[in-house]
Structure 1
Amino acid sequence: MVAALIGLLITILIVGVVAAIIIYCINLLPLDPPFHQIARVIVMLIAVLIVLLRALPLLGVAIPS
């Protein structure tokens, strides 16, 4: 259980850093403000889904392959 929690923390850290880098790169693009916001929301949704997919098995929820 402790190993799984450490793995989850590492996943959260890596996903957070990657999402922050992608959002930083999106902010550098010359896009209109609504497109910036849409792109940031999509990146954050993907990051949250990745973390949830990693965390749900720890709670006993079966995830279909």
Structure 2
Amino acid sequence: MGRKNHYGSRSRRGTQAAALFYSLLESAKLCGLEPKAYLRAAALAALRGQPPLLPHQMMAH
């Protein structure tokens, strides 16, 4: 996504979390998934105590 998106980050950990989040969203798009639907499915899996699927794994289901 680029450096400019992280100028407002106040910590290294926050920057890393944002980079992970953006990477997941872009990967979902590349796999033909709607990012919002992917995040919802991943969050629900985590709440159920299951490991969330990565976008490429979700395509197979």
Q: TM-score, normalising length from structure 2?
A: 0.45
Structure (1 or 2) with the greater helix fraction = 1
Larger CA Rg, structure 1 vs 2: 1
Q: Highest relative contact order (Cα 8 Å, sep 6+), 1 or 2?
A: 1
